[in-house]
Every structure is written in C-alpha cells, then in structure tokens.
Amino acid sequence: GENVEQHPSTLSVQEGDSAVIKCTYSDSASNYFPWYKQELGKRPQLIIDIRSNVGEKKDQRIAVTLNKTAKHFSLHITETQPEDSAVYFCAAKRAQNTGFQKLVFGTGTRLLVSP
C-alpha cells in the first residue's frame, strides 16, 4: 500500500521567512496530493492540493510542487505569519478499482512562526 513520509517533523521560522515541507510517496499510481493545516483540537483544513497532471500550483503565499518521477511533493509558504503556526499534513490518494479512494497521510510537521 501507499506510504507517505514527511519532513521535517518540526520547523521553526521567523515571521516573514519562507517555510518548506517535503513529502515522499511510494505508490506511483497516486494521483492526488492535498495539504492540510490542523490547529490544536480542530479539524484538518485543506489549504492547497495538486493533481498528478500538474507540476506546480500557487495560491497567494502558498505553493505546492510535484515531482512525479521522484515521487515527492513539497509545500512552500512565503512571508510566514504567526497565524501560520499549526501542524501541516501532506497526503496522497490512489484511485482504487473498488472505488474506495482513500487518503494516506504523512506524519505531520509542526510549524512555529515566531514574531
């Protein structure tokens, strides 16, 4: 089955700096890669996603890049702000024959943005 690894586990940056979180996946058939932000005790919130037919996607300060050959994808946050502090999860999804498409999550990155 799919295995998703995520690095780093913790990341501390100063306000205004950029933050990069990287994930690798094992299943070459995975075709959908979302990123979630989760604040303590809250639900995961989708912040950006990318499909396997696209190499890069950007939404204001957030961007995601995908390298299908190397099977890795990254989240880039520019001009970080204290409110970006949270745990970020990457995930990968493969379309299965049964139609039960399930997300496999990475281990999470705790981002701390200091003022």
Q: Are the beta carbons of 43 and 87 closer than 8 angstroms?
A: no
Nearest to 80 by CA among 40, 34, 115, 110: 115
Contact characters 84-103, other proteins, x per CB under 8 A: -----x---x----xxxxxx
Min dist CB 115 to other proteins, Å, is: 24
Q: Work out whether 54 is an interface residue with other proteins (CB under 8 A).
A: no
Q: Residue 18 and residue 31: Cα distance in Å, rounded?
A: 27
Number of residues that bind other proteins (CB under 8 A): 23
* Residues of the shown chain interacting with other proteins in the complex, contacts defined by CB under 8 A: 32, 34, 41-46, 49, 51, 89, 93, 98-108
